[in-house]
């Protein structure tokens, strides 16, 4: 992923805006440290901050079509770009090797419904020079971030940016671009293009669970997200979701390595047959790949051999015992990092600046992810797989134990998926992209969603004999087939849910609360409603985050896109968003302690 910034229909000489546009775009250079681009056409300007993942050598943006009639700036990854190039777009002239270039050719070839052919995560602005038309779109769930804005003193001008900070101080209206929508300047309207059959919360599916189908779809989702020309890894918390993704990725990476070795050996055989005297034959070491006695793959240089950083699978975690256990089981190259509470507290302000929200749950969970992402990027990794979305899809949060019936359960999971762009997707995207690290989320694959979201909610609900996300666990439980290689150890596969912010250590949340108590005097907190009559903070921790947010984003326009997660108190849930505050967690740990 990258960072985009665009100004359309600027009312005066757009060339005079160039330096300011470059300066505004620079605010998101952390998203794309590899290269910057700027293109002016008519009274429009397009900027791009690039993180090179695919088409590394020739994928600079903005992309201009060969006939100069289309201009495109994109943040995202198009997983089916090769299929599109080979079938639907096989007559088109491509000017780069970027996966994103297919967007402009689809626009020209297919017409107004072109976005529906894309399988990936994306936010883009495309300009049709001849028709003086621009369209902007965002991926179905909102894995990528996109904002748009206006300035009342410049009617008709429209701004787009990957992060709100580009528009802060320039626009007096700033809104989050709705996921699954496309904007067309010809009609000046937003239209929802993503409309799966499960999208209506009141539609209750009746399809029974097919465990094999669910497993196949998730495996395929992970496999397509390993599309990369740069080092990648997996985020591993030791919980169910990240562990399943890591397990699948480990299997797929091993398969790719085996394929590479087979290709090398075939190449050696061809040279041996072609070159009878043996002169010039290629050995495995000449390709940069070498196999050791234990079967591991390494890179070779002269007489030295070292473990290759990539394409071997590397896993990254904060120092958690469960993550270490999973890594040992999967035989990943595992990296653990330990952060002090003070490290986390010192980072909170920076986290809020990058997140552009003051939501308590998001800030709590994002801080350790933000710190970990910096360490990962320091290892030379540009892309990681992550487990976001599973809890929303399967009702994995502990408060789902309190769902009164299956209709309410289904309605809640649909609403949670629809709002992922305000919470977990926002966290995963901005916490990682703060350091130029791209997070990919297999659970939000559209084909997987079409299966998982249409399962009868009664199969997903937590019953007396069923732990949360039972069907996901069961789909990857191979205990009934001894001949099949297990995906995970049983104690990991059937471990109770821990929210990420809880899982990294309960002391983290306790210290955040204590720090807020120390920082915010009682008399100030009592005046919270007067200071913020709208969306008033209900705790000192929320007050603290709101205060930090205002130091970076003082404009009223900046709060328009912020959405806070509100617990389901109508289900009898605690107002504290922490998972350990839920009744099911308390009961489970009381039972555990009684048996200790």
Q: What is the gyration radius of the CA atoms in the chain, in angstroms?
A: 25
CA–CA gap between residue 290 and residue 322 (Å, rounded): 32
Q: Identify any residues that bridge with 484 across adjacent strands, giving them in sequence order.
A: none
Tell me which residue has tokens 């067309």.
184
CA–CA gap between residue 389 and residue 425 (Å, rounded): 8
Please return the burial class of 472, using the count of CB atoms within 10 Å of its CB with bins 0-12, 13-18 and 19+: buried
Pairing verdict, β 70-78 and 173-176: unpaired
Query: Strand runs (DSSP E) across 145-223, as ranges?
Result: 147-150, 158-161, 173-176, 181-184, 189-192
CA–CA gap between residue 351 and residue 370 (Å, rounded): 7
DSSP secondary structure letter of residue 421: G
Closest CA to 167 of 552, 565, 429: 552
235 is in an annotated binding site: yes
387 is in an annotated binding site: yes
| Per-position DSSP letters for 500-568, written without gaps between them | HHHHT-HHHHHHHHHHHHHHS-HHHHHTHHHH-SSS---SHHHHHHHHHHHHH--SGGGGTT-------
Please calculate the CA angle 143-166-127 and round it to the nearest 5 degrees: 70
244 is in an annotated binding site: no
For the CA atoms of 441, 494, 323, 320, what is the dihedral angle to 10 degrees? 120
- The number of helix segments (H) and strand segments (E) in the chain equals 21, 20
318 is in an annotated binding site: yes
CA–CA gap between residue 338 and residue 395 (Å, rounded): 30
17 is in an annotated binding site: no
For 561-581, b/e burial (b = at least 16 CB within 10 A) is bbebeebeeeeebbebbbbbb
Let me know how long the chain is. Answer: 596
Phi and psi at 50, nearest 5°, equal -100, 135
Is 92 catalytic? The answer is no
Report CA torsion sign: 444, 447, 452, 455: positive
CA–CA gap between residue 269 and residue 275 (Å, rounded): 10
Catalytic residues: 2
Which residue positions form the known binding site for ATP? 235, 318, 386-387
Which residue positions form the known binding site for L-glutamine? 99
């Amino acid at each position: 992923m990258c960072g985009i910034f665009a100004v359309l229909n600027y009312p005066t000489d757009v060339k005079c805006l160039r330096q300011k546009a470059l300066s505004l775009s620079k605010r998101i250079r952390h998203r794309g440290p590899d290269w910057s681009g700027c293109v002016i056409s008519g009274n429009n300007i397009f900027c791009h901050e690039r993180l090179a993942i695919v088409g590394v050598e020739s994928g600079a943006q903005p992309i201009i079509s060969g006939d100069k009639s289309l201009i495109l700036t994109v943040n995202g990854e198009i997983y089916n770009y090769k299929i599109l190039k080979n079938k639907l777009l096989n007559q088109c002239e491509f000017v780069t090797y970027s996966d994103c270039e297919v967007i402009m050719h689809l626009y020209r070839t297919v017409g107004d419904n072109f976005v529906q052919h894309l399988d990936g995560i994306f936010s883009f602005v495309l300009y049709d020079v001849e028709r003086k038309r621009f369209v902007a779109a965002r991926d179905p769930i909102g894995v990528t971030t996109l904002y748009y804005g206006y300035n009342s003193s410049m009617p008709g001008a429209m701004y787009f940016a990957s992060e709100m900070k580009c528009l802060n101080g320039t626009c007096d209206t700033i809104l989050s671009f709705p996921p699954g929508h496309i904007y067309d300047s010809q009609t000046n309207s937003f239209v929802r293009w993503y409309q799966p059959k499960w999208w209506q919360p009141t539609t209750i599916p009746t399809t029974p669970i097919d465990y094999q189908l669910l497993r196949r779809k998730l495996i395929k989702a992970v496999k397509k997200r390993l599309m990369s020309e740069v080092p990648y890894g997996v985020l591993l918390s030791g919980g169910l979701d990240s562990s399943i993704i890591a397990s699948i990725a480990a299997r797929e990476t091993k398969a790719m390595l085996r394929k590479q070795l087979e290709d090398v050996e075939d190449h050696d055989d061809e040279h041996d047959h072609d070159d009878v005297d043996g002169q010039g034959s290629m050995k495995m070491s000449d390709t940069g790949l070498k196999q050791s006695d234990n079967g591991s793959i390494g890179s070779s240089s002269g007489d030295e051999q070292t473990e290759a950083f990539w394409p071997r699978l590397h896993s990254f975690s904060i120092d958690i015992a469960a993550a270490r256990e999973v890594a040992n089981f999967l035989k990943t190259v595992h990296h653990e990092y330990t952060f002090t509470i003070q490290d986390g507290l010192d980072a909170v302000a920076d986290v809020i600046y990058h997140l552009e929200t003051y939501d308590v749950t998001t800030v709590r969970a994002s801080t350790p992810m933000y710190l970990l992402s910096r360490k990962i990027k320091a290892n030379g990794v540009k892309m990681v797989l992550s487990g976001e979305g599973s809890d929303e899809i399967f009702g994995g949060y502990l408060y789902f134990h309190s769902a009164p019936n299956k209709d309410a359960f289904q309605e809640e999971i649909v609403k949670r998926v629809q709002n992922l762009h305000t919470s977990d997707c926002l966290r995963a995207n901005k916490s990682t992209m703060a350091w130029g690290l791209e997070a990919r989320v297999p659970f939000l694959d559209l084909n997987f969603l079409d299966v998982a979201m249409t399962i009868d909610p009664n199969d997903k609900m937590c019953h007396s004999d069923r732990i949360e996300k039972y069907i996901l666990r069961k789909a990857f439980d191979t205990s009934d087939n001894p001949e099949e290689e297990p995906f995970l150890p049983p104690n990991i596969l059937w471990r109770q849910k821990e929210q990420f912010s809880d899982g990294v250590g309960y002391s983290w949340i306790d210290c955040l609360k204590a720090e807020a108590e120390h920082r915010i005097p009682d008399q100030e907190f009592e005046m919270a409603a007067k200071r913020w009559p709208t969306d008033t903070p209900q705790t000192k921790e929320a007050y603290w985050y709101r205060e930090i947010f205002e130091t970076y984003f003082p404009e009223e326009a900046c709060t328009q896109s912020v959405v806070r997660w509100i617990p389901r108190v109508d289900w009898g849930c605690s107002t504290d968003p922490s998972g350990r505050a839920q009744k099911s967690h308390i009961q489970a740990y009381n039972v555990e302690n009684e048996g200790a």
